[in-house]
Structure 1
Amino acid sequence: MTSGRVVPSGRLVGVDLARAVAVVGMMSIHVLPGEEVGGFAGALYSVSHGRASGLFAVLAGLSLGLATRRGGDARAAARTGVLVRGLLIALLGLVLVDAGSRVAIILAYYGVAFVVVLPFLWWPARRLAVLAGAWLVLAPLLSFAVRGASGLDAQYEQPTLGWLARPGDLLETLALTGYYPVVGWAGYLLLGLAVSKVDLRESTVAMRVAGAGALAAGSSWIVSGLLLGPGGGRAALTGRFGASALDAQDYYGTVPTDSRWWLAVVEPHSGTPPDLLHTAGTALAVVGVCCLLPSTLTRFLHPVAAFGSMPLTLYTAHVLALAAWPRETTTLLAVHVLLGMLFATTWRLAVGRGPLEQVVGRAAAAAGARVPRSTGVR
């Protein structure tokens, strides 16, 4: 990403298509039984696992950057709007857990990450790209050190509204020990912010984004393999924890802190530097490829783009539907996706912006409008 130009106004169809990929991927993880079933369902689950949620987070940062392009004295209002948006999304996430869904809800973490990246909203693309890369590498090391020193284990219980009375436990889970720990995952949003500063309508820029993503994704796998293989990591882990230590390990957002070698694994939701860099890379590749699609093709993908234009609404509806009808079948996934496309296409033609997107957007805009322009800080 070498361009420092801000993306011009107007909707980017490629970004909507990438959002659709992310939401369908997350639905796949929630609905499909697992990669062990084989066939198309198993392959889709395997490809989506860890990567879809990373793409979702990178696109959150990209969307945030596109929504806060205003400069000068409007920045204070924009910051206030982002803060309100993040808090509302986080509260929605807690409510969805209370609704009884069995899936790991990302929204509370996602909303808090909005707040974390507030100081960096108007950094230029190159500085953001460097910061995001450093964050994705170093934040897992910081988390590992803090969790190890404090004796903090992975938190398997999802935070609910009741946790607001336990702010310490809530903050600890969202920041360090939950399924999508913000300490590491904020790096995805920073990367998305960096991408929002370049013009994805230019094919050369989109190609660079896709190429950088493919390079990062492939390199992280190679580095992990070298560390675990010739570097001695696998031998150290299996020698200490048994021959099946790596195969049997089930990660829930973090790795154990009883050996530094866990930081070399690249498994989904391990939260290690190789994992975060790999999933960030695949996210960039998807965004770049989607933005490279010619208009002769994307004009036939309007239902998919409509689906991707309202991720908050459709993710929420999907989670609530699973709470009422918890099944694991490819057919159910198809039903969720097709109904989502039908609703999104109809709503977008008749109304425009998704219903939850409208509610959250209006609340954020109203909060921002209360901030006097004279208080804006550059």
Structure 2
Amino acid sequence: MGVDLARGVAVLGMVTAHVGPDGDGLLPWGDLLQLADGRSAALFVVLAGLGLALLSGGDRLPDGVDLVRARVRVLVRAVLLVGLGQLLVLLGTPVVVILGTYGALFVLGAAALRLPPPALLAAAAGTALVGPLLREAFSPLSTGGASPATLWDVLVGPYYPAVTWAAYLLVGLALGRTDLRAPGARRRLAVAGLVLVVVGHGGSWVAERVLGLPTALVTTEPHSSTTAEVVGNTGAALLVLAGCLVVAARAPRLVAPVVATGALSLTAYSGHLVVIAALGPDAVWEPTTGTWLALSLGVVAACWAWWATLGRGPLETVLHRVSVRAADVRPRSEAPARPPTLGR
């Protein structure tokens, strides 16, 4: 439930990043809402990596037939996500759809399923350091458009470049290979997150203000995809996950609606883009508090009602059934249709 709660926070963060008010007089904290920009998408990808680890055995490294089946399931999901992403792009919203990069990162995740946590963290650190340099070097090969049109756009484009965002997935995969229920695990997660936030944002300030390095190379502005931003966003993701694990354990009924939103995260993400398409581009370019609240509460209410009555979401069901059948694996009968804390 803690992981699903974090997914729900990520989804609502992306809704906020897309239609959250800049400050229209009704709320005095419009600037605070801008914290969701970039960070919520990074949290989404970290949790994707964690989900891949749970899908393939959790803290037990898969081997033999289990590894082959897990990789098939992940690769099939990657194809489906890329296809869904292209359909969402056709809606013509001003929102940059993350699912193309998401699918590409799943391919990387399939290749990395056998790596132990230390190797995954080392690879994530290397990606955070080298990825921005590769993106800078090869970005001329990208079309530069907001919606990825080519493989180069997915790898080194201006939004969600896989060559940099792979760091988030690798960190999440490492988290999923550890026991988050172990004594002190959440405390260590929170401390690590705080350290990374300080290093990322503090390092950016020192590099720019003291060392005089070019802002474009060291900024932590949303979607800058610099090393400093990746480090800071990773720290923020760890802090949110640690907090969600604690809150979900202590107050499961209180956070049940957001947990349901996380359980239906793909459906919620796609659905909110459909609503934005129906509302028109002004919902993004001229956001209001009313639109943001209505869409956020609507997403939570719809997800909670679906999960409490029908269980797994429609898009989640498609991904699950198609990938399971492709890997010739029967769905696990012990998986509950819905958590006992919802609707009870």
Shorter-normalised TM-score: what interval? 0.7 to 0.9
| Matching residue within 208, 218, 222 for 1:228 | 208
- The aligned counterpart of 1:67 is 55
In structure 2, give the amino acid aligned to 1:231.
L
Q: What are the superposed Cα offsets for residues 185-240 of structure 1, whole Å, 9 maximum, x if unpaired?
A: 1111111000001122235111111211111111111111111111122xxx5xxx
Q: What are the superposed Cα offsets for residues 265-290 of structure 1, whole Å, 9 maximum, x if unpaired?
A: 11111011001111111001111111
| Matching residue within 263, 269, 282 for 2:223 | 269
| Matching residue within 92, 95, 99 for 2:87 | 95
Q: Kindly state the Cα deviation for residue 136 of structure 1 after the two structures are TM-superposed.
A: 1.4
Q: Kindly state the Cα deviation for residue 30 of structure 1 after the two structures are TM-superposed.
A: 0.8
- The aligned counterpart of 1:16 is 4
Please give the TM-score of this superposition, normalised by the length of structure 2.
0.88
Q: What are the superposed Cα offsets for residues 111-146 of structure 1, whole Å, 9 maximum, x if unpaired?
A: 111112222112112221222122112211222233
Q: What are the superposed Cα offsets for residues 162-204 of structure 1, whole Å, 9 maximum, x if unpaired?
A: x5xxxxxx10101111411111111111110000011222351
- 5+ unaligned residues in a row in structure 2: which ranges? 330-344
- The aligned counterpart of 2:303 is 344
In the alignment, does 2:15 pair up with 1:30? no
Farther-moved stretch of structure 1 (199-208 vs 307-316): 199-208
Matches within 5 A, 1:311-322: 311-322=265-276
- The aligned counterpart of 1:128 is 120
Aligned length: 320
Please give the TM-score of this superposition, normalised by the length of structure 1.
0.80
Q: What are the superposed Cα offsets for residues 88-132 of structure 1, whole Å, 9 maximum, x if unpaired?
A: 111111110101222111111111111122221121122212221
CA distance in 2, matches of 1:323, 1:294: 33
Q: What are the superposed Cα offsets for residues 44-84 of structure 1, whole Å, 9 maximum, x if unpaired?
A: 43211111111011111111111111543221111111111
In the alignment, does 2:291 pair up with 1:332? yes
- The aligned counterpart of 1:253 is none
Matches within 5 A, 1:1-378: 13-34=1-22, 39-69=27-57, 70-147=62-139, 151-152=140-141, 155-159=144-148, 163=149, 170-233=150-213, 237=214, 262-293=216-247, 295-326=249-280, 327=283, 328-369=287-328
Go from structure 1 to structure 2 and tell me whether the alpha carbon gap of 1:319 and 1:40 turns closer, same or farther (over 3 Å shift): farther
Whether contact under 8 Å (1:35, 1:45) holds in the other structure is no
In structure 1, give the amino acid aligned to 2:197.
A
Where in structure 1 do 4 or more consecutive aligned residues deviate above 6 Å?
A: 35-38
Q: Kindly state the Cα deviation for residue 39 of structure 1 after the two structures are TM-superposed.
A: 4.2
Whether contact under 8 Å (2:56, 2:66) holds in the other structure is no
Go from structure 1 to structure 2 and tell me whether the alpha carbon gap of 1:132 and 1:157 turns closer, same or farther (over 3 Å shift): closer
2:225 aligned counterpart, secondary structure: coil
CA distance in 2, matches of 1:294, 1:347: 20
Q: Kindly state the Cα deviation for residue 303 of structure 1 after the two structures are TM-superposed.
A: 1.1
Q: What are the superposed Cα offsets for residues 328-369 of structure 1, whole Å, 9 maximum, x if unpaired?
A: 222222222222222222221222111100101111111111
1:369 aligned counterpart, secondary structure: coil
Name which one, 1 or 2, has greater alpha-carbon Rg.
Answer: 1
Go from structure 1 to structure 2 and tell me whether the alpha carbon gap of 1:203 and 1:14 turns closer, same or farther (over 3 Å shift): farther
Whether contact under 8 Å (2:78, 2:104) holds in the other structure is yes
2:305 aligned counterpart, secondary structure: helix
